[in-house]
Structure 1
């Protein structure tokens, strides 16, 4: 079902990006999957770098958040085998590389949250944080991590 939903939205999951450091992309504990922070990697490169709004627009940052969300789904599919196993998105944490006086972080992370709602419906409703930070790995514009509950498969 989720694969069909992704297809209807024109979303093709990429090969999951490799970690940029000494960590693993997902930790499974019981029926929870903790997805490590994903940045907007596309074709092996960071698609969006720089601070919002001085180097990147709000729209650029929303696009970056959407790519992060898609990369999270790619990591989950690679590790769970099937996205239909996701029974609940528990928590989304979004970090925006932003100028000190920028305060519209929620609008940016909404791009990821809205995508999760669209794909998973009620199961996609989650708790969340959306914060601004002074820098992110590889000068990425956005980084997002997530915790999901899943069923045995």
Structure 2
């Protein structure tokens, strides 16, 4: 069970963050769930802001990506009722707020990808993009969205 795995990894899913714009957090179509981009928010506050590497280190950005992943899972649990319904993580898209010459985006988004694998095993392997951008909502350091298959 995924809940047991979360306990083993010392992860507590938060109440999912409310949308910061005119969208809904999760849309389902058939057996796919599309989760809107999540930023490193906790208790209504963005915990990681600024650009990599000038304002945030790679390690701090990795922590931001991990928090984004946890928020994605919180949105899915709220929508699906149980993370055990997830049969495959299909796609992860990671965006890093960074300086123009920064090129280590994969290192940052790996923190989310690795967490999904740690939780879901083979079902957590996914296709992915990891790109740098000039800015993100609320000046967050990272934003990640995902698509999952569920039963």
| TM-score bucket of the superposed structures, by smaller chain | over 0.9
Query: How does 1:81-100 map onto structure 2 within 5 Å?
Result: 81-100=81-100
| Distance in 1 between residues matched to 2:135 and 2:146, nearest whole Å | 20
In structure 1, the gaps of 5 or more residues are: none
1:137 paired with 2:137, answer: yes
Gaps of 5+ in 2: none
Structure 2 match to 1:49: 49
Q: Distance in 1 between matches of 2:43 and 2:26?
A: 20
Query: How many Å separate the matches in 2 of 1:62 and 1:19?
Result: 23
* Count of equivalent residues: 151
Structure 2 partner of 1:31: 31
Q: Does residue 1:5 correspond to 2:13, yes or no?
A: no
Question: 1:95-144 deviations in whole A, cap 9, x for unaligned?
Answer: 00000000000000000000000000000000000000000000000000
| Structure 1 moving runs of 4+ over 4 Å | none
TM-score (norm 2): 1.00
Tell me the secondary structure at the aligned position of residue 128 of structure 2. Answer: strand
Give the TM-score of the pair, scaled to structure 1.
0.98
2: CA distance, partners of 1:4 / 1:117:
15
Does the residue aligned with 2:16 lie in a helix, a strand or coil? coil
Considering only aligned residues, what root-mean-square deviation do their CA atoms show, in Å? Answer: 0.3
- CA offset at residue 71 of structure 1? 0.1
